[in-house]
Amino acid sequence: MPVYKAPVEDVMFLLNDVFPIERHNNLPGFADATPDTVEAILAEGAKLCEEVFAPLNLSGDQEGCTRNPDGSVTTPKDFRQAYEAYAAGGWMGLAAPEEYGGQGLPSVLNTIMQEFVSSANLALGMYPGLTQGAIAALLVHGTEEQKKTYLPKMIEGAWTGTMNLTEPHCGTDLGLLKTKAVPNGDGSYAISGTKIFISAGEHDMAENIVHLVLARIEGAPQGTKGISLFVVPKFHVNGDGSLGDRNGVSCGSLEHKMGIHGNATCVMNYDGAKGWLVGEANRGLNAMFVMMNEARLAVGVQGLSQSEVAYQNAVAYAKDRLQGRALTGPKFPDRPADPIIVHPDVRRTLLSIKAFNEAARALIVWTGLNSDIAHRSSDDAQRQTAEDYMGLMTPVVKGVLTDLGFDNAVKAQQMFGGHGYIEEWGMSQFVRDARITQIYEGANGIQAMDLVGRKLGKDGGRAVMTFFNEVGAFCQENAGGESLKAYIVPLQQGLGHLQQATMWFMQNAMAKPDNAGAGATDYMHLFGLVAMGYMWAKMAKAAQARKAQGDGVADRMDAKLLTGRFFMERLMPETGMRLARISTGADTTMALPMEAF
């Protein structure tokens, strides 16, 4: 049975020493989030994940979901109880507004909890995860009545939410969407069409399911400018809040898929289902973007989560599995062989994953704090900077953390040799589960195009220039001393490569857009490396300061500093390769005639 321990200590280092949460005391909800309270909350969340969610991961994968002849869906054994424990613990509304029953705590805590939940059981964690996305969309774009009708029940966890975008003929290009909405004359619409791949579309864990559905109002323009967003409950909600008749929406079938077997991926049939417009007509994509952006960050967190849990299991195995002797002579002469963790190649693999995990976690915490500032600050300038940062970083977090999350799950599986390929060890599941994170919420190639095509040039490049200035200023401030040199010099080099790549796009992609398309994925990864390198430089600085306080954490801080050095020596040099690839442009990529493929 795979093991999992939530990295609470590592998170607390981030929240206390690297990005002190106390500095944000002026934001609503933060005054209650003292370090002690935060640690207690996360320890409680860790317990739920380790003791309730994680033990159901393997069995949930093996059992999967079942669609019954009446169209209902049964989730794996004990999923419902685990979900109920999550809801009863108030986790759904941890960061939701108090007026709808939430606790109003910083949303960064929710983001951290998402990592724990997803590491413990990705498939199960998706049910509340999608609900939180739907809550966010309704909070921003719902009418007062819609908020009153749906939010308290969703925040309580009694009802769950979904997002319905994809149709058989359209995923990336939603402008092709066919699901139609016909006005009923009473303010509601009759929604008809087929949606596919809908996560948590039908299940047995909640009393009601609140579907957020993209559809085209009859007569609306073709393309993305004619799409509207609707709220369509599985059961109608009576005036007094009780549940009424079943709506015309049902699960036609379940997809048989590579991973996340415990999550019901549904074909959803809308047969004149009654729905209500959310936000303005024909501005549905805009409204859905609230949910999509939330979900993209959450999917980035999922990428890290699989890397983390796979790493923990690989470390345990590498300390236990005896094969061969260390190159420098036996380390455990009393045993028949040394544990494989003595071998440099095994250590290289494990450290690559560890160095990524800790940087990715820092990036997520930093992004989570920016999300809080963007949503809660009363200072316009501060909010603007945080919003810019979120826009820029969303495709990077989604694309880079899931690409590397999957790669790392494979690397961790490799540590098990042949046993990694055998299902009972659980490593195969981490690989299979991690794979979807690169695909859904916009395939990663699309994230890269979003970064290069939309985010770089937005507002005259304001966001990217702010990022460059911040990283550049940090390097300058800390370049003087010897102690941080091992972190600052590689970071400066990486930043230089990123700036050159950005300049190259400005000079070569306007007139020839294929140059942007051909270099986008390399650019996204180059960006991710610099962002994570920046995280490591900040963590190294904080670790040195913490070590100097001499409060019994020297070993832990030394491990931090060494892991950061490994990142700088072994992972950061990839920035040069990424720049070289980008600078070759699109000529060769586009020259091959289609028939030659």
Ligand X SMILES: Cc1cc2nc3c(=O)[nH]c(=O)nc-3n(C[C@H](O)[C@H](O)[C@H](O)COP(=O)(O)OP(=O)(O)OC[C@H]3O[C@@H](n4cnc5c(N)ncnc54)[C@H](O)[C@@H]3O)c2cc1C
Catalytic residue numbers?
441
Q: Is 174 in the site for ligand X (CB under 6 A)?
A: no
Cα(215)–Cα(439) distance, rounded to whole angstroms? 22
Residue 228 structure tokens:
């509207």
Stretch that binds ligand X, among 53-61, 283-291, 433-441, 561-569 (CB under 6 A): 433-441
Strand pairing category for 180-183 and 159-164: unpaired
Q: Is 446 in the site for ligand X (CB under 6 A)?
A: yes
Q: Is 291 in the site for ligand X (CB under 6 A)?
A: no
Nearer to ligand X, 18 or 268 (CB): 268
> Which residues, listed in sequence order, are joined to residue 192 by a DSSP beta bridge?
180, 271
Q: Is 175 in the site for ligand X (CB under 6 A)?
A: no
Q: Is 453 in the site for ligand X (CB under 6 A)?
A: no
Nearer to ligand X, 223 or 324 (CB): 223
3-state percent breakdown (helix, strand, coil) of the chain, nearest 5: 60, 10, 25
Nearer to ligand X, 124 or 373 (CB): 124
Nearer to ligand X, 272 or 445 (CB): 445
Among 113, 290, 404, 436, binds ligand X (CB under 6 A): 436
Among 396, 449, 526, 568, binds ligand X (CB under 6 A): 449
Q: Which stretches does DSSP call E strand in 315-465?
A: none
Backbone φ/ψ region at 74: left (φ over 0), alpha (ψ -120 to 50), beta: beta
Enclosing H/E stretch for 285? helix 284-320
CB-CB contact of 201 with 251 (8 Å): yes
**Residue nearest ligand X, CB atom distance:** 171
Stretch that binds ligand X, among 137-145, 178-186, 191-199, 376-384 (CB under 6 A): 191-199
Contacts with 328 (C-beta within 8 Å, 6 or more apart), sequence order = none
Among 75, 114, 121, 166, binds ligand X (CB under 6 A): 166
Cα(191)–Cα(86) distance, rounded to whole angstroms? 32
Query: Per CB under 6 A, which of residues 40..99 are in contact with ligand X?
Result: none
Q: Is 445 in the site for ligand X (CB under 6 A)?
A: yes
> How many residues are recorded in the chain?
597
As measured in angstroms, the least distance from the Cβ of 366 to ligand X is 26
Of 291, 274, 287, residue with least CA distance to 181 = 274
Q: Is 198 in the site for ligand X (CB under 6 A)?
A: yes
Q: Is 253 in the site for ligand X (CB under 6 A)?
A: no
As measured in angstroms, the least distance from the Cβ of 520 to ligand X is 8
Cα(112)–Cα(107) distance, rounded to whole angstroms? 9
Number of residues that bind ligand X (CB under 6 A): 20
Q: Is 155 in the site for ligand X (CB under 6 A)?
A: no
Cα(515)–Cα(532) distance, rounded to whole angstroms? 25
Query: Per CB under 6 A, which of residues 499..518 are in contact with ligand X?
Result: none
Of 353, 234, 367, residue with least CA distance to 294 = 367
Nearer to ligand X, 284 or 490 (CB): 284
Nearer to ligand X, 173 or 423 (CB): 173
Q: Is 165 in the site for ligand X (CB under 6 A)?
A: yes
DSSP-based three-state secondary structure for 69: coil
CB-CB contact of 229 with 287 (8 Å): yes
Handedness of CA 262, 267, 269, 274 (dihedral sign): positive
As measured in angstroms, the least distance from the Cβ of 165 to ligand X is 3
What is the per-residue DSSP string for 190-256?
EEEEEEEEEETSS-SSSSEEEEEEEEEETTPPSSGGG-EEEEEESEEE-TTS-EEEEPSEEEEEE--
Q: What is the dihedral of CA 330, 331, 333, 336, to 10 degrees?
A: -80
Q: Is 431 in the site for ligand X (CB under 6 A)?
A: no
> Which residues, listed in sequence order, are joined to residue 322 by a DSSP beta bridge?
339
Nearer to ligand X, 179 or 208 (CB): 179
Stretch that binds ligand X, among 103-111, 197-205, 371-379, 391-399 (CB under 6 A): 197-205
Q: Is 397 in the site for ligand X (CB under 6 A)?
A: no
Cα(529)–Cα(68) distance, rounded to whole angstroms? 46
As measured in angstroms, the least distance from the Cβ of 449 to ligand X is 6
Backbone φ/ψ region at 552: left (φ over 0), alpha (ψ -120 to 50), beta: left
Q: Is 290 in the site for ligand X (CB under 6 A)?
A: no
DSSP-based three-state secondary structure for 276: strand
Among 142, 442, 490, 494, binds ligand X (CB under 6 A): 442
Stretch that binds ligand X, among 274-282, 440-448, 543-551, 574-582 (CB under 6 A): 440-448
Q: Is 589 in the site for ligand X (CB under 6 A)?
A: no
Among 4, 13, 86, 197, binds ligand X (CB under 6 A): 197
Q: Is 265 in the site for ligand X (CB under 6 A)?
A: yes
As measured in angstroms, the least distance from the Cβ of 306 to ligand X is 14
One symbol per residue from 520 to 539: x for binding ligand X (CB under 6 A), - otherwise; what is it? --------------------
Q: Is 133 in the site for ligand X (CB under 6 A)?
A: no
Q: Is 238 in the site for ligand X (CB under 6 A)?
A: no
What is the per-residue DSSP string for 132-162?
HHHHHHHHHH--HHHHHHHHHHHHHTSEEEE
Q: Is 131 in the site for ligand X (CB under 6 A)?
A: no
Phi, psi of 54 (to 5 degrees): -60, -40
Stretch that binds ligand X, among 57-65, 361-369, 435-443, 457-465 (CB under 6 A): 435-443
As measured in angstroms, the least distance from the Cβ of 499 to ligand X is 25
Which residues of this protein are in contact with ligand X, per CB under 6 A? 163-166, 171-172, 197-199, 257, 265, 436, 439-443, 445-446, 449
